Amino acid sequence: MRIEQVEFKLKDGRSALLRSPGNEDIQGMLDYLYVSSGETEFILRYPEECEKYTPEGEKELFDRMNASDNEAMIVCIVDGKVAGNCEIVWKKGMKTKHRAFVAIALLKEYWNQGIGTRMFEEMIRIAESNHDIIQMELDFVEGNSRARALYEKMGFRITGVKPDAIRLKDGTLLNEYSMVRKMK
């Protein structure tokens, strides 16, 4: 699914764009995936795991998501650079098509600029325009207070905890929390 381009101002006054990804974003996306994976433990991959991502694979992914009727990817562009992305996907099965799953991440230099809030507004708009969807769902890792604050602001509530869902390289085990946002 493609979205209409949205332009907005970051908290620091710079202009930013939200749009569907295109071929011009492939290298920026690969750079963002690699760098962001090393900036926080709250992203579920390490930088070396990004070696499997290729320009051809990203192109295939963008094309598939842009053409899909049950998934959308949105990239945020600041000063011509991919600052991050988010995704919304819902299943097609009769018993589960009412649930939409969302995920989001940004490069650290763009945290706290209001991008996450704008991305969620857009994903909520997409979910609201599909009348099958009655709830949005996501997970976050224990300790991710910025993400939790954003999700609660956007109407999500904690519904459960998966103990020791994440295991870091040093052996640290972290819980993962599930959240749900009921559609109005």
Ligand X SMILES: CC(C)(COP(=O)(O)OP(=O)(O)OC[C@H]1O[C@@H](n2cnc3c(N)ncnc32)[C@H](O)[C@@H]1OP(=O)(O)O)[C@@H](O)C(=O)NCCC(=O)NCCS
Spatial CA neighbour of 39 closest among 98, 108, 113: 108
Q: Is 21 in the site for ligand X (CB under 6 A)?
A: no
Q: At what angle do helices 115-128 and 145-153 cross, to 10 degrees?
A: 40
Q: Which is nearer to ligand X, 134 or 149 (CB)?
A: 149
Q: Is 20 in the site for ligand X (CB under 6 A)?
A: no
Q: Which is nearer to ligand X, 33 or 104 (CB)?
A: 104
Among 104, 127, 133, 179, binds ligand X (CB under 6 A): 104
Residue 9 CA to residue 86 CA, distance in Å, equals: 18
Within 33-62, the residues that bind ligand X by CB under 6 A are 40, 42-43
The DSSP secondary-structure symbol of 99 reads: E
Residues in a beta bridge with 138: 179
Among 9, 14, 64, 153, binds ligand X (CB under 6 A): 153
- How many residues of this chain interact with ligand X, rule: CB under 6 A? 22
| Interface characters, 121-140, with ligand X (x: CB under 6 A) | -------------------x
Among 15, 96, 145, 172, binds ligand X (CB under 6 A): 145
73 burial level (CB within 10 Å; 0-12, 13-18, 19+): buried
Among 73, 102, 106, 136, binds ligand X (CB under 6 A): 106
Among 35, 146, 155, 180, binds ligand X (CB under 6 A): 146
Dihedral pair phi/psi, residue 116, rounded to 5°: -55, -45
Residue 63 CA to residue 2 CA, distance in Å, equals: 10
Spatial CA neighbour of 178 closest among 116, 102, 123, 84: 102
Spatial CA neighbour of 141 closest among 129, 154, 158: 158
Q: Is 115 in the site for ligand X (CB under 6 A)?
A: yes
Q: Is 117 in the site for ligand X (CB under 6 A)?
A: yes
Q: Which is nearer to ligand X, 45 or 91 (CB)?
A: 45
User: Where does this chain bind ligand X (CB under 6 A)?
Assistant: 40, 42-43, 84, 104-106, 111-117, 140, 144-147, 149-150, 153
